[in-house]
C-alpha cells in the first residue's frame, strides 16, 4: 500500500483541513499495521493486519489472487475465527464483507 497524502494549503477551511489531516493519519496507521506479500506475478498471497473495513486478521489467497483463508475478525460482525472457502470463492465476501 502506498501513501496518497492530501496536501494542506493555506486557503483550506478548517473542516477540510481537519478532514485531510485525519485522512493522512489513517493512511499512515494502515500502512504501519498491514503487510501484504505478493507472488512473483504480483498477485497477493498473504495479508497480515488490516483488511477490508477496519477488520484485522491474516488472509491467504489462492494462485489467482482470490482470498480463500481468513484467520481473524469476520468482516460482517467481527467475531473471531478461522474460515476456508471453496476454490475460487472469496472467503471475505462469503462472510458478508
> Does 1 have pLDDT greater than 60?
no
The mean pLDDT value of the chain amounts to: 88
Q: What per-residue confidence (pLDDT) applies to 87?
A: 93
Q: What pLDDT does 75 receive?
A: 92
**pTM of this structure:** 0.66
pLDDT in tens, 7-19: 888 888 989 988 8
pLDDT score for 92? 94
Distance (Å, whole) CA 44 – CA 70 = 14
Q: Tell me the mean pLDDT in the region 71-87.
A: 93
Residues 62, 55: Cα–Cα separation, whole Å: 20
DSSP 53-73: TTEEEEEEE-TTS-EEEEEEE
Amino acid at each position: 500500500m502506498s501513501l496518497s497524502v492530501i496536501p494542506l494549503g493555506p486557503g483550506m477551511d478548517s473542516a477540510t483541513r481537519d478532514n485531510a489531516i485525519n485522512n493522512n493519519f489513517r493512511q499512515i496507521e494502515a500502512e504501519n499495521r498491514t503487510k501484504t506479500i505478493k507472488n512473483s506475478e504480483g498477485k497477493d498471497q498473504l495479508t497480515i493486519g488490516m483488511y477490508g473495513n477496519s477488520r484485522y486478521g491474516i488472509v491467504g489467497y489462492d494462485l489467482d489472487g482470490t482470498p480463500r483463508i481468513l484467520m481473524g475478525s469476520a468482516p460482517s460482525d467481527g467475531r473471531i475465527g478461522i474460515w476456508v472457502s471453496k476454490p475460487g470463492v472469496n472467503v471475505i465476501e462469503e462472510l458478508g464483507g
